[in-house]
Amino acid sequence: MSIAFVALIILWWALMVYAVLGGADFGAGVWDLFALGRNAEKQHDLINHALGPVWEANHVWLIFLIVGLFSVFPTAFSVLSIALFLPFSIVLIGVVLRGAAFVFRYYAVDTEGFFAHSWSRVFSATSLITPFFLGISAAAVASGQLINSSGIPDATDVSSMTTPFALVIGLMSIVLCATIAAIYLVVEAHDTEKDEHLTASYRLRAIIAGAVTAVLGALGLALSISEAPMLWQGMVARAIPLIVVTMVLGLATAVSLFFNHYRLARILIILETVFMLATWGLSQYPYIVPPRFTIANSANESSVIQALVIGIIVGLVFLLPSLYYLFSVFKLPYPVPGLKRREVEKQQQRRPGQKQESALS
């Protein structure tokens, strides 16, 4: 196994983490759009609480991906930068306005005022646009038609991004994000806020969004036969078991939501997303950008990749415990050092109840 392949797996893993964490972030923005009426204030609060401490960390994965890609596959990256200039410029505007909008809204003194309200709208709009164009870009790469056989990229050639396949994948990305977010928010509403009404409403949304994701996914699969033939062939040749697992996981998510096992549903939707991306990865192996750039012909020198991988490992040694600590303090019910005494007591009170629930699921 080449070191470039190891690095690629790490990058793919980062993509999965970004999809699961950042995706939930986008999805929360989508639901923010639908937070209307009597309950709107409560829903905004729920979303703010869920995102507040972690949104910034969630988006560093995207940076990590970009940096990793240009360090490990510099040639492929520079070609992608040109070919995807337009969609990525839009993604960039989306990410930027979204991040800014979230903070502006969060720290606005008057949450009802014009300032907070306008940024709220920006937040929702960009939460729709960004995953859509990310999905389109991914589909364009996967279709193998982004770059013609000469290998010279052309930013004005958007034909591979406007195919029905690309559009369906773009839409599916939005709905998938919405599904992930809805399930996270169900857990949050149920466990932290203990609000029956919100829980029920997000449970319903999760089921509906999940169903739409499944339909779009199936449609994308069908379209790929004619529009992304390389992807399709790779899938048939190597990834059928993964597709089956993905589908089963999707069903299992719906079932566990239906029977109110929210925490289980959260794990299942994470796995589902991971498997979906793994399917894509395995199907287009060994291409980075089909049909021209493979792992072998676009990887950086192996000594450099080795240094990068060592750097990543050293980085992770610092990072993972810190990340675990972050999530423990804000999201997980297990004891960690450094908590206030009264928080520890609160945790202890909460835990027996949760034990029962997990015993049920």
Partner 1 sequence: MEDLLAARAQMGTSLAFHIIFSALGVGVPLLLCIAEGLALKTKNPVWMMLTRRWARATAILFAIGAVSGTILSFELGLLWPTYIKFAGAVVGLPFMLEGFAFFLEAIFLGLYLYGWDRLSSRAHWLCSFPIWISGLASSWFIVSVNSWMNTPAGFQVRHGQIVGINPWQAIFNPSTPYETVHMALACYVVSGFAVAAVYAFGMLFRGRRAEYYRKGLLLGMLMALIAIPLQIVSGDFNARFLANYQPAKFAAMEVVYHTQSGAPILVGGLVDTKTDTIRYAIEIPKGLSLLAYWNPDATVKGLDQIPRVNWPDPALVHPSFDGMVSIGFFCLFIAVIFWGLYLLRKRQLPMQRLMLLGVFVAGPLSFIAMELGWMVTEFGRQPWVIYNYLRTADAVTTAPFLNISFFVFSLIYVLLAVALVWLLQKVVHRPLPQVTLSEDGYEVQEPVIEKVGA
Interaction with ligand HEM in 38-67: which residues (CB under 6 A)? Answer: 56, 59-60, 63
Q: Please, which residue, 63 or 155, has the CB nearer to ligand HEM?
A: 63
The length of the chain is 361
| CB-nearest residue to ligand HEM | 63
Decide if residue 75 touches partner 1 (CB under 8 A): yes
Among 79, 167, 172, 178, binds partner 1 (CB under 8 A): 79
The pair of structure tokens assigned to 148 is 């013609």
Decide if residue 43 touches partner 1 (CB under 8 A): no
**Choosing among partner 1, ligand HEM, none, which partner's interface includes residue 107 (Cβ < 5 to 8 Å by kind)?**
partner 1
Whole-number minimum distance, CB 15 to ligand HEM, in Å? 17
Q: Please, which residue, 13 or 104, has the CB nearer to partner 1?
A: 104
Dist CA 248 CA 59 (whole Å): 29
CA distances from 231 to 82, 138, 158, 317 (A): 22, 12, 19, 36
63-102: contacts with ligand HEM (CB under 6 A):
63
| Sequence letter at residue 302 | S
Q: Please, which residue, 244 or 323, has the CB nearer to partner 1?
A: 323
Whole-number minimum distance, CB 165 to ligand HEM, in Å? 31
The 8-class DSSP code of residue 292 comes to T
Total residues at interface with partner 1 (CB under 8 A): 74
Whole-number minimum distance, CB 212 to partner 1, in Å? 29
Contact track, partner 1, 280-309, x by CB under 8 A: --------------------xx-xx--xx-
Q: Please, which residue, 63 or 255, has the CB nearer to ligand HEM?
A: 63
Decide if residue 47 touches partner 1 (CB under 8 A): no
Dist CA 126 CA 192 (whole Å): 27
Helix residue ranges, H only, 39-84: 40-51, 55-72, 74-83
Among 12, 70, 219, 357, binds partner 1 (CB under 8 A): 70
Decide if residue 6 touches partner 1 (CB under 8 A): no
Q: Please, which residue, 318 or 334, has the CB nearer to partner 1?
A: 318
Decide if residue 9 touches ligand HEM (CB under 6 A): no
Contact call for residues 64 and 158 (beta carbons, < 8 A): no
The pair of structure tokens assigned to 311 is 């750097």
DSSP state string for 1-17: --HHHHHHHHHHHHHHH
Burial 65-99 (b: 16+ CB within 10 A, else e): beebbbbbbebbbebbeebbebbbebbeebbebbb
Q: Which residues contact 99 (CB under 8 A, 6 or more apart)?
A: 55, 56, 59
Decide if residue 248 touches ligand HEM (CB under 6 A): no
Whole-number minimum distance, CB 316 to partner 1, in Å? 8
Decide if residue 323 touches ligand HEM (CB under 6 A): no
3-state SS class at 294:
strand
Dist CA 135 CA 277 (whole Å): 12
Q: Please, which residue, 237 or 316, has the CB nearer to partner 1?
A: 316
Dist CA 355 CA 361 (whole Å): 10
Decide if residue 12 touches partner 1 (CB under 8 A): no
Upstream peptide bond of 286 is cis (omega within 30 degrees of 0): yes
Dist CA 14 CA 94 (whole Å): 20
86-145: contacts with partner 1 (CB under 8 A):
86, 88-89, 92-93, 95-97, 99-100, 102-104, 106-111, 115, 119
Decide if residue 341 touches partner 1 (CB under 8 A): yes
Decide if residue 56 touches partner 1 (CB under 8 A): yes
Decide if residue 2 touches partner 1 (CB under 8 A): no
**Choosing among ligand HEM, partner 1, none, which partner's interface includes residue 64 (Cβ < 5 to 8 Å by kind)?**
partner 1
Angle at 150 between CA 66 and CA 78, to 5 degrees: 15
Which residue carries 């690629």 as its tokens?
A: 8
Positions touching ligand HEM (CB under 6 A) are 56, 59-60, 63
